[in-house]
Every structure is written in structure tokens, then in C-alpha cells.
Amino acid sequence: MKIKKSLALFALSIGASAVLAACGGSSTNSSSSSNASNSGSNDNFKAVMVSDTGGIDDKSFNQGAWEGLLEWGKNNGGKTKGNGVDYILSKSESDYTTNLNTAVLNEYNIIFAIGFKLQKAVEEAAKANPEAHFAIIDSVVEQPNVASINYRDQEAAFLAGVAAGLTTKTNKVAFIGGMHGPALDKFEAGFKAGVKAVNPNATVEIQYAESFSDAAKAKSLAEAMYASDFDVIYAAAGGAGLGVFAAAKSIVETNPDRKIWVIGVDQDQQAEGKVNDSRNVTLTSTLKGVKQALMKFTDDAAKGNYHGGEQVVYGLSDDGVGLTDGQLTEEVKAKVAEYKKAIIDGKQEVPAKP
């Protein structure tokens, strides 16, 4: 496999996109077409993404990917009826293989698999269909027709930990992950290391919802944590993480004097934390350039460059990951900037495993 540290990536956007506001979901094994396609000599170019189980409107990982395809399509023609960008929604892990095969049968020029849970299905589909072109996010598939796109999520999570460690008033912060795996290990390890770097006496509780879509489970975990005086929770759980925001907002609505926070993931989740015009429980959000990567890789594929067999890794140094200002104080923002520079300069190590 050809290893590349990074490819040129568009700068992360701090503002959350509202592209999906008017888009409904689709049923399992069916795709929802955007009003977008390539134009000119690439009129028949088609790109599709197969989601993980978090849902296409998870305000996080899958949504960011879909927004990337939509924006690419908007910039390249705007035609409909399949000659554009689509998604195929996976409601359960058993859908992955079927959905990838559906994409192959429909002759999409490039097929994006969104998430490490699709690794095995992509390996099998790529081997069985060597003429098809795939790209997977957050995993590595060593096949000549698969591009592997990964992120140093631990770097952004470390900065989130710094923010949490300096913001907590109870010295009790928590991490709620989606499902165990190497991708989430990076978030967990980086966050805990960041907290301990600035507040070694803080307690860091780790829990997993064991789902990227079960918001009720994540909400229950968060409610128990807030009841035990944890005041900052990093919700790295995709769509399930929306339950953490729901828990925090409900508590603050009942008790406005309670100072509790949520740290969002993958996109700027400021909107998810809004309680009213004067109160927001989103402390900050870690950013991940999934949208930008899908735009770039789709554009390259339309020009005939599929990056097959390549592994690309994005981090702080190339704006592949980042942290929003959110509700951070000037003092905390300054400390975050200090650690960001240290990480980029190689002076601060960040663990990728717990």
C-alpha cells in the first residue's frame, strides 16, 4: 500500500452546514438522490456513500460525509435522476454488504464507505469487484482499488481534553463513545491525555453507548454522570451523542444555575447545545474534515484519480482535524492554541490508544 501523510485538504469550516435541513432519510438498501451531478465531459459520473448505522442526519459523522457529496454535486452541475451523488442508508450492520453490492451493481464511479464498521464488507466487495473503486473512512483496506482515509482524531480530542480539564469546576469529566474500536480508541486516549495534561487531579470517566444511533442509551449514561457531579462530557458517539445534548439541555432548563457542558464531535455542534437565546451547553466541538475529504476525493475521481491502494492521514498540521471556539474563555482558548502548536511542532505527544 502506498502511504501518504496527507493530500491537500480544504480548510475546516467552523460554521455548521445546514445543507441537510431539507433532506429526508432513505430506507435501507435504497438511495436518496441529491439534485447534483458533474457536468461537461463527466456528465455520467456518479458518486455514492454507504452510511454506517448512525443515520444520515446524525449531525455528525455521516451527515458531514453527505454534505461533502452534496456540495461537490452543487459545484459540478446540479442534474438529477441518478447522474449525481447519492447515499445508501445502513440501518444495521447486516446491511453493509448488501448496500455495497447495490452500489457496485448501479455502477457508481466511486463508492465511499463511511466508518470503520464497514471494513470487512469493503474488503470483500473490493476483492470481488476489482473494477470498482472504493474509499473507506476511518479504516485501512489493503486492496489496490480502495483508498483509505484516516484522521489523527486523537489530536483534536487532546485539545478537547485540555478545554474540559480547564473548564470543569467539579474536577469530574467524562467521555461517552459510540462503539469500541480503533477509531474510537483515538478519541478516548487523546481526550484523557489532554485532561490530565492540564488537570492531573481530575477524574475522567469512560463509558460507551455501544451504538452510534441509540440516543436514548447515551442520554441515560449522561444523566447518571451529571447526577454524579460530572460537569463536562465529551460525546464522541455520532447520532447517539445527540442524547447527551438532550440530557444536558433538560437539566439546564429545569435548573438554569447548573453549569454543565457537552463537547461535540466531527462537526460544530453548537446548534445542538442551544437551550435559549442566552444559554448554550456546547462547550466546544472537535472537527473532522470528512466533508472536505469527500469533496476532494470525489473531484479527483471525476478526473480519473481514484487514489486506489493509498492510505491518507489528516491531522492538525493540515487542518484535517480541529477544535471550535464554542463557549471557551479567552484563557482556555489561549491554552488550547499553545497545545495545538506543540502538537504540530512535535513537542507534545498524543496517544492513539487508551
Contact residues for 330 (Cβ-Cβ < 8 A; gap 6+): none
Measured from the Cβ of residue 332, the count of other Cβ atoms closer than 10 Å reads 21
What are the angstrom distances between the C-alpha of 204 and each of 131, 190, 217, 242, 311? 47, 12, 19, 21, 33
Q: Would you write out the chain's pLDDT as a tens digit for each of its 354 residues?
A: 455 545 555 445 433 333 333 333 333 343 433 333 333 345 689 999 999 887 888 777 889 999 999 999 888 865 543 448 999 999 999 999 999 999 999 999 999 999 999 999 999 999 999 999 999 999 999 999 999 999 999 999 999 999 999 999 999 999 999 999 999 999 999 999 999 999 999 999 999 999 999 999 999 999 999 999 999 999 999 999 999 999 999 999 999 999 999 999 999 999 999 999 999 999 999 999 999 999 999 999 999 999 999 999 999 999 999 999 999 999 999 999 999 999 999 999 999 999
Contact 171, 231 (CB under 8 A): no
The reply to whether 2-151+289-318 and 153-287+320-344 are identical in fold is: yes
DSSP string, 311-341: EEEE-GGGTSEEE--TT--HHHHHHHHHHHH
Distance, in Å, from the CA atom of 38 to the CA atom of 6, rounded to the nearest integer, reads 25
For 351, what's the count of Cα atoms within 13 Å in the CB-facing half-sphere?
13
For residue 72, the 8-state DSSP code is: H
Q: Where are the domains of the chain?
A: 2-151+289-318, 153-287+320-344
- Give buried/exposed letters for 39-62 (b at 16+ CB in 10 A, else e): beebeebbbbbbbbbbbbbbbbbb
Distance, in Å, from the CA atom of 339 to the CA atom of 317, rounded to the nearest integer, reads 12
Measured from the Cβ of residue 195, the count of other Cβ atoms closer than 10 Å reads 28
Q: Which CATH number fits domain 153-287+320-344: 3.40.50.300, 3.40.50.720, 3.40.50.2300, 3.40.50.620?
A: 3.40.50.2300
Bridge partners, residue 88, by sequence: 31, 50
What's 2-151+289-318's CATH class?
alpha beta
3-state secondary structure of 228: coil
